Chain A
Amino acid sequence: MDDLYREVIVDRYKNPIYRGTLDPHDISFEDDNPLCGDHIRIDVRVDANNIVTDARFDGHGCAISQASADLLMETILGKSLDEVKELTKDDILDMLGLELGPVRLKCALLSLKVLKAGAYGLGEASDDLVE
């Protein structure tokens, strides 16, 4: 567990770098984890070549969900939207450096689900995006 609450996770939870909103933005999407009420909103700006130039998340939830969102924002800076669409569950687990059970996996993947739903311009976020 001390693994699960590694310093980087607790630190990013308490002192996030990318918390906030962007106005204007090119992409904005938000969703909840209905199981626990975690909520994440993500705003993204892209340039003419669809490269991510800025990204911010906002919302509330557990340390895993919020730290995961903060790290994800950092990860996608400079990436193209096509690359963002290709991100998977494994990328998130690598990023966190964690093994997670099915319940906490939902916390960790909420930000990716929101981001990909926004990147694809979907009306609704689906778990299929992060399977």
Chain B
Amino acid sequence: MEPRTKNHTLDVNRIRADFPILDRFVRPGVPLVYLDSTATSQKPLVVIEAMDDYYRRHNANIHRGIHTLAEEATAAYEEARRKITAFIGAPSSRQVIYTRNTTESINLVAAAWGRANLKLGDMIILTEMEHHSNLVPWQMLANELSLRLEFIPVREDGLLDLDEYRQLLQQSPKLVAFTHMSNVLGTITPAKEMTALAHQAGAVVLIDGAQSVPHFSVDVTDIDPDFMAFSAHKMCGPTGIGVLYGRKEILEKMPPYMGGGDMIKRVHLRSFAPNDIPHKFEAGTPAIAEAVGFGAAVDYLQSVGMDAIHAHEQEITAYAVERLEEVPGVDIFGPKTEYKGGVISFTFAGVHPHDISQILDQGGVAIRAGHHCAMPLHEKFNLPATARASFYLYNTRSEVDRMVEALYKVKEIFG
């Protein structure tokens, strides 16, 4: 193990001890180096145990149950919502809607807000670096309602072209939807500034926070978007649960998304009255144990501190960029470290990213290869695929070294 990081407070060895999976060997003698947290993060024991305890001791369906277990389950589910509310600085937990994930959160807005508020010819501004989850729902809606989609270009340096954004805003867009941090380039967008500009132009703003909320402090009251979407599984929580944060007045006016139990106040044979927010958008039995796990994940991240996590990732990323640049044939794709989070996408001359990933796996190093659900961005830069290493609070410099060692093996095999 490397010496503990001294520049900031995050004690990475202590943190690693919280994540049981980080002890495993991929094969005999080959310990895991997990550099794929942008796809999904690993889970600390406190999250695993919170869900285990929920199923062992409290499991019942929530709301409208009078018995003890139902009350405990409901309390745990709602307590987690309050934790998440505080974590993102939302004014009220009624503005925090549980969904399955970021994708479902964005689809909810497209289906419920979009259909009620957009009409033929209306314009939506997106960016060229959106994940497919913040692109395809708008394409589907655009096809259905004949909307116009426009895109803020990504410059060669991996940053958004904000001059072009200002030009687009003059065409009275109804919605601006953009990522807070690119899952490929790592680019962190100036979300507060972009939101203020969109609001001045009279547009509603949705921010895809899938990569930002897990990695640095995000305050929705400060940034002030109308919607923000994110997923638990990328922030030390379980899969199957995410959040849509929304502005209260907008959520209250929006029609429901799915119909069913829990989203109603009253139901008659031919009509229903929707429940209050957030329940109006939570039809059916939700992911209760996952909500409990999500709450535990938020507690865990707060106990470490989001600023310490961000500083740690910045340091590891800067180190990884430096080491990768040493390897002949490696080309890094995206902005300089100061403008990005802990994501590095790269290519290796003459070697397909799948082969890079396969050879790295033999050294126990887990990275991702492909288009990372951002095909248009790869098309723009004329790359069929990239290899991507991503970092989180538990990654170390020595893991970066293991990756670089394995990359020399790639070079050896492909010559």
Contacts and interface: CB of A to CB of B under 8 A. Distances in A.
A62 B354 contact: yes
Interface-central residue, B351, B358, B369, B370, by most chain A CB under 10 Å: B358
B413 interface: yes
Contacts of A66: 352
B355 A63 contact: yes
By DSSP majority rule, is chain A's interface helix, strand, loop, or mixed?
mixed
Nearest to A4: B358
A37 B414 CA distance: 21
A5 B369 contact: no
B105 to A, nearest CB: 24
Interface string B347-358: 000111111001
B12 to A, nearest CB: 29
Interface-central residue, A5, A10, A37, A38, by most chain B CB under 10 Å: A37
By DSSP majority rule, is chain B's interface helix, strand, loop, or mixed?
helix
Contact of B370 (A2, A4, A37, A60): A37
Contacts of B352: 38, 60-63, 65-66
A37 B387 CA distance: 13
Contact of A39 (B353, B354, B370, B384): B384
Interface size class of B (residues with CB under 8 A): 20 to 34
A35 interface: yes
B371 A37 contact: yes
A-B pairs, 5 with minimum CB distance:
A62-B354, A62-B352, A1-B362, A37-B384, A36-B370
Interface of B: 350-355, 358-359, 361-362, 369-371, 375, 378, 384-385, 413-415
7 contacts: A36-B353, A36-B354, A37-B375, A39-B384, A60-B352, A63-B351, A63-B355
Given A37-B378, A60-B352, A62-B355, 18 more contacts: A1-B358, A1-B359, A5-B359, A10-B413, A10-B414, A10-B415, A36-B353, A36-B385, A37-B370, A37-B371, A37-B375, A37-B384, A38-B384, A39-B384, A62-B352, A62-B354, A63-B352, A63-B414
Interface of A: 1-2, 4-5, 10, 14, 35-39, 60-66, 104, 107
